[in-house]
């Protein structure tokens, strides 16, 4: 097996890398200086980064109308490959006139910053926001953060392939930003032939630790892969989450079997469709298995509890390649004297240490650690300190 295919082939067969180097990069820099510039926002920068490093293989740029329509209607690209959420660049009318006829556009993260990539424009098309909202998010309610972001984006999509000069600059977590080629390399060095990926945008409490470890019991390695692109304003900030993950790893995880790396995507909150999208991306990072919990990537009550697990049945197993591992909510049971789930524990809710998110936030805000059966004390202390700092602002 070649290094690129270890331990699983990327989606579509080969890992994309759009990042130019050496003389090719110098030429792009020179060319970009004379092209019309388009400043893209945080979410679009995340997509650009994901495309550049091959996390969205086999995509090599922002998608065309034919693929866009095909994804909305069939969850497949026009060539038949499974794909659940369109990756398009929406441009507002206020910018369109400047780049109207350009066949190449320089993309930048801020008005005065040097261009990060050149987009070779192949087509422009009107974004069907209503249809996209209903297909991808199953709602067009503007209270839904993903739908809101969709309607805030521009009305015209500019499609085309990308040639990338530099990745968006990150000052934080530099050591944790492994590309798919790098995670694959790390798995190969460790000899992991099977790896389970865990997506999260939250601190990890005992329940999710348990699920990860259940999965790790049947594979060689665990990739905890926190999403660090844009999330809702009320989600726990990235630096606080990372401190929680580090505390957990230093106290409770086997270092030769588990690693943390960052998933640079922006959160869509698209529930079922995002679960598929997350799984495909993790396959590109080299994961053979992917944990799908209840209400994966959901928000509010827009999705049924098991919708994100059921949607995997709409694909033939070899279409996705990566194996979903479906989990129930888990908890510590006082009668079992251990972690379990409704699948493995026969007792009543009264015997189980179950706390609502609201209750946990209330306790942390008051400076109280949730029970050790719910949250590791090291994690609780980090969250309590973060709440105190936030209150002091």
Closer CB to Zn ion, residue 65 or residue 351?
351
Closer CB to Zn ion, residue 130 or residue 347?
347
What is the closest distance, in whole angstroms, from the C-beta atom of residue 333 to Zn ion in the complex?
3
Indicate the residue whose CB is closest to Zn ion. 333
d(CA 376, CA 149): 34
> Rg of the chain's alpha carbons, rounded to an integer?
21
Chain mean position to CA 77: 20
Closer CB to Zn ion, residue 79 or residue 349?
349
Handedness of CA 62, 239, 200, 245 (dihedral sign): positive
What is the closest distance, in whole angstroms, from the C-beta atom of residue 354 to Zn ion in the complex?
12
Select the residue interacting with Zn ion from 96, 102, 149, 336 (CB under 5 A): 336
Alpha-carbon dihedral 62, 66, 67, 71, rounded to 10 degrees: 130
234-293 binders of Zn ion (CB under 5 A): none
Could you tell me which stretch among 59-67, 293-301, 338-346, 360-368 binds Zn ion (CB under 5 A)?
Answer: 338-346
Closer CB to Zn ion, residue 299 or residue 333?
333
What is the closest distance, in whole angstroms, from the C-beta atom of residue 338 to Zn ion in the complex?
8
State the residue for tokens 């409770």. 252
Count residues binding Zn ion (CB under 5 A): 5
- Does 333 contact Zn ion by CB under 5 A? yes
d(CA 348, CA 96): 60
What is the closest distance, in whole angstroms, from the C-beta atom of residue 214 to Zn ion in the complex?
16
Q: Which of 127, 138, 201, 294 is catalytic?
A: 201
Select the residue interacting with Zn ion from 98, 335, 359, 388 (CB under 5 A): 335
Catalytic annotation present for 202: yes
Could you tell me which stretch among 57-65, 104-112, 132-140, 334-342 binds Zn ion (CB under 5 A)?
Answer: 334-342
Could you tell me which stretch among 157-165, 270-278, 288-296, 325-333 binds Zn ion (CB under 5 A)?
Answer: 325-333
What is the closest distance, in whole angstroms, from the C-beta atom of residue 343 to Zn ion in the complex?
11
Q: Which of 41, 124, 202, 326 is catalytic?
A: 202
341-360 binders of Zn ion (CB under 5 A): 345, 347
Chain mean position to CA 124: 27
- Does 339 contact Zn ion by CB under 5 A? no
Rule CB under 5 A: which residues touch Zn ion?
333, 335-336, 345, 347
Catalytic residues: 201-202
């Amino acid at each position: 097996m070649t290094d690129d295919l270890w331990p699983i082939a990327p989606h579509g067969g080969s890992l994309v890398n759009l990042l130019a180097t050496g003389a090719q990069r110098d030429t792009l820099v020179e060319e970009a200086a004379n092209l019309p510039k388009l400043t893209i926002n945080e979410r679009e920068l995340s997509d650009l980064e994901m495309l550049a490093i091959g996390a969205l293989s086999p995509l090599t740029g922002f998608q065309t109308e034919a693929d866009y329509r095909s994804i909305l209607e069939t969850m497949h690209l026009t060539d038949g490959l499974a794909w659940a959420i369109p990756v398009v660049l929406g441009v507002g009318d206020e910018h369109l006139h400047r780049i109207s006829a350009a066949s190449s556009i320089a993309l930048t993260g801020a008005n005065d910053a040097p261009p990060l990539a050149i987009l070779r424009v192949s087509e422009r098309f009107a974004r069907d926001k209503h249809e996209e909202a209903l297909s991808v998010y199953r709602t067009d309610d503007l209270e839904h953060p993903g739908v809101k972001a969709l309607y805030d984006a521009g009305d015209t999509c500019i499609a085309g392939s990308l040639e990338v000069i530099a990745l968006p600059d990150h000052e934080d977590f530099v050591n944790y930003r492994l590309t798919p080629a790098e995670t694959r390399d790390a798995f190969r060095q460790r000899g992991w032939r099977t790896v389970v990926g865990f997506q999260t945008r939250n601190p990890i409490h005992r329940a999710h630790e348990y699920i990860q470890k259940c999965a790790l019991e049947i594979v060689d390695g665990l990739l905890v892969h926190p999403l660090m692109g844009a999330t809702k304003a009320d989600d726990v900030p990235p630096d606080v989450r990372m401190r929680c993950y580090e505390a957990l790893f230093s106290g409770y995880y086997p270092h030769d079997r588990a690693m943390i790396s960052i998933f640079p995507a922006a959160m869509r909150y698209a529930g079922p469709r995002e679960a598929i999208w997350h799984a495909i991306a993790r396959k590109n990072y080299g994961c053979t298995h992917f944990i799908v919990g209840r209400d994966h990537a959901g928000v509010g009550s827009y999705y049924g509890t098991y919708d994100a697990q059921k949607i995997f049945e709409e694909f033939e197993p070899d279409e996705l390649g990566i194996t979903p591992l479906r989990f129930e909510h888990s908890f510590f049971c006082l009668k079992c004297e251990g972690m379990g789930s409704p699948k493995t524990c026969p007792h009543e809710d009264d015997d189980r240490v179950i706390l609502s998110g609201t209750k946990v936030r209330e306790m942390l805000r008051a400076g109280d650690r949730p029970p050790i059966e719910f949250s590791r004390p090291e994690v609780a202390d980090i969250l309590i300190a973060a709440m105190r700092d936030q209150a002091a602002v």
